[in-house]
């Protein structure tokens, strides 16, 4: 779920600086009612391949959008992908998570 929504967020943003990505993902974690640290763990693993790495947001900015999206998609697939039922649920929940961030 975290990886899916993080992927969706980075796909829809025009911003790609460390500070803007941190703000984007912190807002998503808040709307998902998750502690930011817990939210970030799967992203560290997906982006770097390790549970601990260089600062995540600097890594995201350095790797650039296409590489980050590919790594998030690969991590989702490695975990078994998203079923049709899950995809439908994610799509139903996304507008509330996304709209809340625009306010």
DSSP state of 34: -
Whole-angstrom distance, CA of residue 48 vs CA of residue 27: 22
* Predicted pLDDT of residue 25: 95
Domain of residue 21 covers 2-102
Question: pLDDT band for position 99 (50/70/90)?
Answer: low
Count how many domains the chain has. Answer: 1
Residue 30's domain is classified under what CATH number? 1.10.10.350
- Burial tier of 103 (Cβ tally within 10 Å: 0-12, 13-18, 19+): exposed
pLDDT, tens digit, for every residue of 2-35?
999 999 999 999 989 999 999 999 999 999 999 9
Question: pLDDT band for position 87 (50/70/90)?
Answer: confident
């Amino acid at each position: 779920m975290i990886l899916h929504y993080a992927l969706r967020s980075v796909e829809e943003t025009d911003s790609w600086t460390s500070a803007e990505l941190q703000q984007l993902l912190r807002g998503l974690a808040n709307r998902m009612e998750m502690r930011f640290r817990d939210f970030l763990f799967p992203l560290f693993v997906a982006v770097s391949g390790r549970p601990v790495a260089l600062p995540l947001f600097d890594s995201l900015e350095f790797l650039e959008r296409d590489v980050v999206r590919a790594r998030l998609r690969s991590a989702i697939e490695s975990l078994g992908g998203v079923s049709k039922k899950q995809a439908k649920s994610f799509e139903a929940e996304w507008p509330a998570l996304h709209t809340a961030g625009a306010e």
